[in-house]
């Protein structure tokens, strides 16, 4: 069963949240019920596929073993090389899934493996940094399996998550959570099942596959809007569900199509993902390269960091060529944006004027939509990418 898609899923969801609501109202801790509910929901998502169930159980055991083992090792040494080794070991199952299409046409992996891997890597890195000094197995399991965001995010951080689940909310505070949760769920339903469905059924699927400027532009805009409402809708429902369980998941979208630059766009689009890559890929690469003086200029470190970060993000989505091109395109735009904003006198002179800001929004919107066109794989129809 796919999360947040069918009527039967929402029925199961609403019924299963009743005990959580009662626990919240009576000022009891929800995390133990939430852990059991997440295990149940993961089993529901996997369904009757025994191979995927076995894959999931092996994956869970492997990742917990890595986390616990690294915590023991970290208490004895803080070598960065060991941290990197454990990261490689933790992402190895995901790599098998991402590259499996080169070797087999059968389904490999299970729902949520990408986002769960993000959670594991964050724990290992922050354990190395000394930010995580102890790990509770129940809290770890709940964080790894937290079902509202297991399929498509938002990507939470373990320390923030643990603060939420171990806090007992006052009744009034829990009522506020419920109110926010209801609003977010209905917002998500409107986005996903009304706006995205209208765009998909009455525009996107009716666009001709002919190689014309009109059809390509129509698909570019239709797909970009469809993807936003579908994905933002899912995120809102996931966030709303989290509130009923006493967890404040991070926001994922903040009016991204009103951004004035591509740097701002990535501060507004799939925010939990872009912030994760910023913190654990870009920043660490730049700091390491500057510490070891790999390059003469810090801007070289930054620009190469942009390219590496977005390329990794593209490959994370998939190993098909159009995802790689998408990542390189986004990296190039970030480099060009930074250089333009630092060097261009016209930009510095007019950046606060309303006409210039409106023009910047228009240009950024089109650059972002073209990136999503690359991401969609639509151009493979014409260029066999």
Return d(Cα 248, Cα 161) in angstroms, integer: 8
Determine whether 317 is an active site residue: yes
Cα-trace Rg, the chain: 22
Buried/exposed 71-88: b ≥16 CB within 10 Å, e otherwise: bebbeeeeeeebbeebbe
Return d(Cα 354, Cα 146) in angstroms, integer: 43
- For residue 98, the Cα-to-chain-centroid distance in whole angstroms is 16
Return d(Cα 232, Cα 268) in angstroms, integer: 11
Asked if 237 contacts 336 with a C-beta cutoff of 8 angstroms, the reply is no
Instruction: Tell me the two tokens of residue 19.
Output: 């005990």
Kindly report the backbone phi and psi dihedral angles of residue 133, in degrees, each rounded to the nearest multiple of 5, phi listed first: -115, -15
Asked if 144 contacts 116 with a C-beta cutoff of 8 angstroms, the reply is yes
Residues serving a catalytic function are: 317
């Amino acid at each position: 069963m796919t999360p947040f898609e069918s009527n039967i899923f929402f029925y199961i969801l609403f019924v299963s949240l009743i005990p959580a609501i009662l626990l919240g109202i009576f000022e009891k801790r929800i995390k133990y019920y939430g852990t059991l509910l997440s295990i149940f929901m993961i089993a529901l998502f996997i369904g009757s596929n025994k191979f995927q169930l076995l894959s999931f159980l092996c994956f869970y055991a492997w990742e917990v073993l890595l986390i616990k083992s690294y915590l023991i090792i970290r208490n004895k040494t803080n070598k960065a090389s060991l941290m990197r080794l454990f990261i490689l070991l933790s992402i190895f199952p995901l790599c098998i899934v991402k590259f499996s299409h080169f070797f087999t046409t059968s389904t490999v992996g299970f729902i949520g493996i990408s986002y769960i891997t993000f959670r594991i890597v964050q724990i290992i890195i922050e354990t190395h940094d000394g930010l995580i000094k102890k790990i509770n197995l129940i809290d770890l399991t709940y964080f790894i399996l937290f079902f509202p965001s297991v399929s498509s995010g938002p990507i939470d951080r373990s320390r923030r998550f643990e603060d939420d689940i171990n806090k007992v909310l006052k009744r009034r505070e829990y009522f506020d959570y419920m109110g926010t949760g209801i609003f977010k769920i209905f917002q998500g339903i409107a986005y996903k099942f009304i706006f995205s469905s209208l765009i998909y059924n009455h525009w996107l699927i009716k666009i001709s596959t002919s190689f014309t400027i009109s059809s390509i532009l129509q698909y570019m805009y239709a797909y970009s809007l469809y993807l936003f409402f579908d994905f933002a809708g899912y995120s809102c429902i996931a966030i709303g569900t989290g509130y009923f369980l006493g967890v404040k998941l991070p926001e994922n979208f903040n009016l991204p199509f009103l951004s004035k630059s591509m740097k701002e766009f990535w501060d507004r689009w799939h925010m939990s993902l872009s912030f994760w890559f910023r913190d654990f890929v870009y920043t660490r690469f730049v700091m390491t390269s500057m510490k070891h003086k790999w390059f003469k200029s810090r801007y070289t470190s930054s620009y190469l960091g942009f390219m590496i970060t977005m390329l990794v993000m593209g490959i994370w989505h998939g190993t098909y060529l159009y995802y790689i091109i998408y990542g390189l395109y986004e990296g190039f735009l970030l480099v060009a944006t930074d250089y333009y904003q630092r060097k261009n006198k016209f930009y510095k002179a007019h950046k606060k004027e309303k006409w210039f800001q409106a023009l910047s929004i228009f240009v950024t919107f089109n650059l972002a939509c073209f990136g999503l066109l690359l991401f969609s794989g639509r151009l493979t129809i014409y260029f066999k990418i």
